[in-house]
Structure 1
């Protein structure tokens, strides 16, 4: 459900935080215990979001960039910087919030972050057989929005989130 949820709440309608599966241990985040838990999946998407946007900032290929800590070590070695894991998440979250503000400015609404009927349907076979993600979708959105520092009902970034990310110039667009 991590990728299903990610593709629906992403700013670009592709995988923003979960590309090629989620490997939280690579960034010191606890692994999930149940891949079909609405709480764990929405929380993981929020906690992991930012690291893949940092990949995009570097211009690295996500296929080759599988270890964020190694990327960080290489970047620091090449530039002489001393960025931390927290720094790369902050950089990535700045991008996520800039994209989010752009989308809201151009008419995006919470309703746009629902899967199609078929995409959100109950699987008839496989490990997710009979599991219904849609009965908890609203809860997942609110949890994700809250953890991202967004309004829990609309998904718009909160002014304090934009300030924390040094994106004050975007507050006027709320």
Structure 2
């Protein structure tokens, strides 16, 4: 799948520009089979997409549970999810077809469950199932990371500053921010 961006997320002009840029990149050697790992952000549904497990888990972590039974179910799913994550990491080190099959089946055992009177958890489980192919992309490409944390570390300070200051409101401020941010990346403080 090369460019499945939906036009309701971008205006037609932006969509055409992105399509032209991607087409040019592919024409100049970018593999159409390149895997893009993201947090499900709308700007990344290009080429072959993989989904970050840490971001996917947030849908479950955000649940609180009203009853003791709901809290227990959330805890059980969370434990099963992280145990499964560890199994995926182990698979990356020494992948086999048998392990791939077992992990695919285990995904369904964990996430294709429904919980009685627990709408929030059921919705989170549906999201995992809806994105199964993207979450299990690592089974076909074991070198693929399971999360985007390393990539996000580069931008974390910028986002924190932007949130604290409510963004930069003037062009001069943006230029200073961009210049000093670049110097920090080079080790200049």
- State the TM bucket, normalised to the shorter chain: under 0.3
Q: Which has the higher contact order (CA 8 A, sep 6+)?
A: 1
- Higher-Rg member (1/2): 2
Q: State the TM-score, normalized to the length of structure 2.
A: 0.20
Q: Give the helix-richer structure, 1 or 2.
A: 2
Q: Give the strand-richer structure, 1 or 2.
A: 2
Q: State the TM-score, normalized to the length of structure 1.
A: 0.22
